Homo-oligomer: A and B are copies of this chain.
């Protein structure tokens, strides 16, 4: 008979491949009040399916507008998910010990995916729907490269060409994600480029332009519109993207069920909102129906780009060049170019319309942290749990640690679940800056925000 050994506790909760969720959860079905529709950027009328179909695959537009509660995951998508899914839920016992907290802390680890974050959950689905509709190429933009590498991976599995417009500054300064995309066969173009009208125009006036996400989006959309075998792909913000990410929370629920746990607090970082939504929405479903009325959901953002905590709720464009539909969301204004913080994935002026509505209606809390605050937390996590977190995910960790310390002070039992949305192996220069003590804390002030959002006063109200 095996003797029980003290101290050898289970940390990781796995889910067998057989038990992977077979459907995505669509929160639009259950929201007490739903967000208003996207508007045509020229007419300010609700945008039509045909207008969207120039850019996106029809299967994805259907999902964008659907209010069906559950949507089947195609078997071809599940097959690719199984390369890395289900991802583990891990009890962060070493972190708990270090914090001397009564809270039990769990993280869902999405960094085990091929490109190292949660992004492939939607990239694979988007590539699939485009493939079955006869699309031959997808275009997209990328900053530091997380989204671009996820889409490059997905395209390689479905035999699609992939063209990624990568912000030139990142293309030159962070070459390794570029290499990763190229290893999956993607065509990575520094933006602004000579391949588009938008790009050529900018290069004429500013030959050494470092580029921006706004410019890269415009280039990607221009290429998609000009060829009917090419579509555009977006990595966050939109309803169908958030839908695909719900596999995260659906798995996590099953995993916590196995150890008879249910969270009291769910935490994720937010840029466009997809990783937070992916983990939180399946739990929000319970909160809507009062089964878990006291459940708290916390969205964490950078103080340098405080969309929820300081932005205003308005219709606004998704990009600098006003090519996208007008979306009802919290925004810092479409002209805002966020400061160069290391959490590149959170440098977005807007926010998912669904999350914006949930926040406006009080279902979700939000808070913002500076760079040094989040790297302090990332180092604590690294030194206890042995994983280098992505700077984006470090925002969630900061909130987790603060809540765990509060639980200790209040002697309160909490069960905290958070999304460790990616690893930080491609962000070591950021950690080097932290060690050297040269990280800057940029905080957007109320005056800054007033200035940035002034013109939105004439835009439609959400």
Contacts and interface: CB of A to CB of B under 8 A. Distances in A.
Contact of A183 (B12, B20, B153, B383): B383
A17 interface: yes
Interface in A3-26: 5-12, 14, 16-18, 20, 22
A207 interface: no
B82 A5 contact: no
A156 interface: yes
Nearest to A182: B435
A385 B114 CA distance: 8
A262 interface: no
A383 B8 contact: no
Interface string A28-60: 000000000000000000000000000000000
A425 interface: yes
Given A84-B386, A94-B83, A428-B180, A18 B10 contact: yes
Contact of A385 (B83, B386, B428): B83
Q: Which of A14, A94, A386, A423 has the most CB of B within 10 A?
A: A386
B7 A11 contact: no
Nearest to A379: B183
A180 B388 contact: yes
A432 B116 CA distance: 18
B8 A156 contact: no
A387 interface: yes
A183 B8 contact: no
A288 interface: no
Contact of A8 (B7, B18, B379, B432): B18
A17 B11 contact: yes
Interface in A270-299: none
B386 A183 contact: no
Contacts of A153: 386
A78 interface: yes
Contacts of A446: none
B17 A9 contact: yes
Nearest to A387: B114
A360 interface: no
A313 interface: no
A175 interface: yes
A79 interface: yes
B17 A5 contact: no
B156 A383 contact: yes
A184 B383 contact: yes
A65 interface: no
Q: Interface extent on A, as a size class?
A: 35 or more
A153 B16 CA distance: 30
A113 B8 CA distance: 18
Contacts of A315: none
A264 to B, nearest CB: 25
Given A182-B435, A431-B179, A8 B83 contact: no
A423 B114 CA distance: 11
A459 interface: no
Contacts of A382: 183
Task: Choose among A175, A176, A426 the residue with the greatest number of B CB atoms under 10 Å from its CB.
Answer: A176
Given A114-B387, A383-B184, A387-B114, A7 B79 contact: yes
Given A182-B435, A183-B435, A435-B182, A11 B428 contact: no
A5 B75 contact: yes
A277 to B, nearest CB: 24
Nearest to A175: B432
Interface string A294-335: 000000000000000000000000000000000000000000
A12 B22 contact: no
A357 B250 CA distance: 53
Contacts of A176: 428-429, 432
13 contacts: A5-B22, A5-B78, A8-B82, A10-B16, A116-B425, A175-B428, A176-B429, A179-B428, A179-B432, A183-B379, A183-B431, A183-B435, A184-B383
Given A9-B82, A183-B431, A423-B425, 14 more contacts: A7-B79, A9-B17, A11-B17, A11-B82, A14-B14, A83-B94, A83-B385, A114-B386, A116-B425, A176-B429, A179-B431, A179-B435, A180-B388, A183-B435
